[in-house]
C-alpha cells in the first residue's frame, strides 16, 4: 500500500513546486519594479537636484572669483574650467553608480525568474518520480500476489 503514499508525495511535490515558483515569480516582479522605480527616482529627483547644486556651487565660485577684483582670465579661467570638469566627473560617476544599481536589481529579478523555472521543473520531477515509485510498488505487489517471480 506504499503506492498511495507515493502518489500523495508526487502530488505534493508538484504543488510545492508551483507554490515556490509563484513566490519566486513575485520576488522577480518586485526586483524588476524596484529597478525601474530606483531609475525613475534618480532621473527625476536625484540627478536634477545634483545638477542644481552644481550650478549653485559654480555660481558661488564664479562670484567669489570676480569679487577678488581679478580679471576672469588666465589662472582664474583655468580654475573655473577645472571646477566644471570636476562637476562633470561627479555627474558621470553618479550616472555610472545608478546604472550599476539598476543592473544589480535587474539581475536579482532574473535570478528569481530562473529560480522559479527551476522550482517548476523540480516539482514536475518529484511528481514523475513519485508516480514511478507508485507504479513500481503496484508491480511489486502484483508480482507477489500472482507469483510472477522466477526463483
The pLDDT of residue 80 is 92
Share of the chain above pLDDT 90, in %: 58
pLDDT at 151 over 60: no
Say if residue 14's pLDDT is above 90. Answer: no
* CA 143-146-147 angle, 5° bins: 70
Q: Evaluate whether 113 touches 25 at the Cβ level (below 8 Å).
A: yes
Q: pLDDT tens-digit profile of 18-74?
A: 999 999 999 999 999 999 999 999 999 999 999 999 999 999 999 988 888 878 888
Please check whether residue 80 is in contact with residue 65, taking contact to mean a CB–CB distance below 8 angstroms.
Answer: yes
Q: Give ∠ CA 100-101-103 in degrees, rounded to 5.
A: 65
Amino acid at each position: 500500500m506504499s503506492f498511495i503514499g507515493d502518489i500523495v508525495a508526487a502530488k505534493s511535490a508538484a504543488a510545492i513546486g508551483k507554490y515556490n515558483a509563484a513566490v519566486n515569480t513575485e520576488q522577480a516582479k518586485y526586483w524588476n519594479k524596484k529597478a525601474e522605480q530606483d531609475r525613475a527616482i534618480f532621473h527625476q529627483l536625484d540627478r536634477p537636484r545634483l545638477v542644481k547644486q552644481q550650478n549653485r556651487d559654480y555660481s558661488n565660485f564664479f562670484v567669489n572669483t570676480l569679487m577678488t577684483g581679478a580679471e576672469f582670465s588666465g589662472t582664474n579661467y583655468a580654475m573655473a574650467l577645472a571646477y566644471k570638469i570636476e562637476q562633470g566627473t561627479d555627474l558621470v560617476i553618479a550616472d555610472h553608480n545608478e546604472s550599476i544599481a539598476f543592473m544589480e536589481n535587474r539581475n536579482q529579478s532574473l535570478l528569481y525568474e530562473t529560480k522559479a523555472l527551476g522550482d517548476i521543473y523540480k516539482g514536475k520531477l518529484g511528481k514523475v518520480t513519485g508516480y514511478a515509485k507508485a507504479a513500481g510498488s503496484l508491480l511489486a505487489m502484483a508480482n507477489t500476489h500472482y507469483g510472477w517471480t522466477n526463483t
